[in-house]
Amino acid sequence: MSDSVAGPGSTAAEHAPTDKEIRLVIAASSAGTIFEWYDFFIYGTLAGLIGAAFFPSDNETLEMLLVWAGFAVGFGFRPLGAILFGFLGDRLGRKYTFLVTVTLMGIATAGVGLIPSAATIGVAAPIIVILLRVLQGLALGGEYGGAAIYVAEHAPPEKRGFYTSFIQASVVGGFLLSIAVVLTCRFLIPEDDFIAWGWRVPFLLSIILLALSLWMRLKLSESPVFLAMKESGETAENPFVESFTYPGNPKRIFVALFGVAGILTVIWYTAFFSGLSFLRGPMRMDEGLVETIMLIAGSLAIGLYLMVGKWSDRVGRKKPILIAAC
């Protein structure tokens, strides 16, 4: 789909997306989401080496806690990123906001791979890492919600759950890609070299992923729903304020944030990243074996996301959410 599909002088009604266009939207949005989450997750996948490079300490537990604190910083800024880029998405459109978030993420991730270690530049190293994690958190906050909305606005109502489930599956896809890249680098780079400098390669690969993401997303047109709102003058003047002042929205936001997203997010990260840390740490399992186990587990999870998304189109959204939370 090119910009000509939704070119100037035409109306949104004339651009009802075809099945082929919807498939392209899902593919490009999912691929971009995979790349962005890869950028975010590669930090956690290489947590042990990140700690040694940027948060060195004689206490192994303290070193790991500092690494995970840096990981948490990214999450702390995701809500702010969602607000900021959600605002821009409602004002400027989904497509161009996508381009900003993916560029910010790619640059921040590559930056981690270029920072000298703490042994070289001292305390400046962890400070720069934290600042880059802040940028990653902001970018990811705008990316994830924006991708889901973009796909939902192209999807017919009877397939909305299934189509948007590809975005959630892409989160796991980013995790799997990070593991696959690390396994490949471990295979190609001698162990001592990987520990010394090879761990930086997965971060630097984000430059290639950034180029691919930009190429794919430049092919996309604006959301037909956004075009229709823009043509009818119904876009929000202040999306942030209106989202809280619209009747009933504060309650919906509270339930969605703490009753849905909060619960499921805690479950997901406990299963994957706490499991990753536990197997490497207290269980003292081989790094390669741990990464292979998580690769298999993540692959199974992707299939389940798509199955449940399709199921939600038949039974509604509430039942799958309640079952998953239990």
- CATH number, domain at 63? 1.20.1250.20
Closest CA to 124 of 69, 55, 67: 55
pLDDT digits (tens, 9 = 90+) for 33-74: 888 888 878 887 888 889 889 998 888 778 888 888 888 888
As a whole number of angstroms, the distance between CA 291 and CA 278 comes to 12
Position 7 scores a pLDDT of: 41
Position 10 scores a pLDDT of: 41
CB atoms within 10 A of CB 215: 10
Which residue segment(s) compose the domain that 28 sits in?
Answer: 18-238
Instruction: Compute the CA torsion angle 102, 103, 104, 106 (nearest 10 deg).
Output: 80
Which is more confident, 318 or 3?
Answer: 318
290 lies in some domain: no
270 lies in some domain: no
181: left (phi over 0), alpha (psi -120 to 50) or beta: alpha
Alpha helices in 224-317 (DSSP H): 224-231, 239-245, 249-254, 262-269, 275-280, 287-315
127 lies in some domain: yes
DSSP conformation letters of 36-58: HHHHHHHHHHTHHHHHHHHS--S
292 lies in some domain: no
Instruction: Pick the most confident of 87-96, 144-153, 293-302.
Output: 293-302
pLDDT band, very low/low/confident/very high, at 13 (cuts 50, 70, 90):
very low
As a whole number of angstroms, the distance between CA 34 and CA 185 comes to 19
Arithmetic mean of pLDDT, 90-111 = 83
Which range has the worst mean pLDDT, 173-187, 203-217, 260-274?
Answer: 260-274
Give the contacts of 213 (CB within 8 A, at least 6 positions apart): 31, 32, 35, 36, 102, 106
Rounded to 10°, the helix 60-92/19-45 angle is 150
231 lies in some domain: yes
Tell me the three state secondary structure of residue 93: coil
As given in the structure block, the two tokens for residue 54 are 């940027």
244 lies in some domain: no
DSSP conformation letters of 121-137: HTTHHHHHHHHHHHHHH
209 neighbors 38 (Cβ within 8 angstroms): yes
As a whole number of angstroms, the distance between CA 117 and CA 42 comes to 17
Closest CA to 109 of 79, 137, 86, 73: 137
- Hey, what amino acid is at 147? A
Query: Does the CA dihedral 177-180-182-188 come out positive or negative?
Result: negative
Arithmetic mean of pLDDT, 242-251 = 79
Give the contacts of 148 (CB within 8 A, at least 6 positions apart): 164, 167, 168
Q: For the chain, how many structural domains are there in total?
A: 1
* Distance between first and last Cα of the chain: 41
Position 295 scores a pLDDT of: 86
Position 165 scores a pLDDT of: 92
pLDDT band, very low/low/confident/very high, at 132 (cuts 50, 70, 90):
very high
As given in the structure block, the two tokens for residue 235 are 């876009």
Position 326 scores a pLDDT of: 74
Eight-class DSSP state of 315: H
104 lies in some domain: yes
314 lies in some domain: no
Position 233 scores a pLDDT of: 65
pLDDT band, very low/low/confident/very high, at 235 (cuts 50, 70, 90):
low
What pTM, to 2 d.p., does this model score? Answer: 0.78
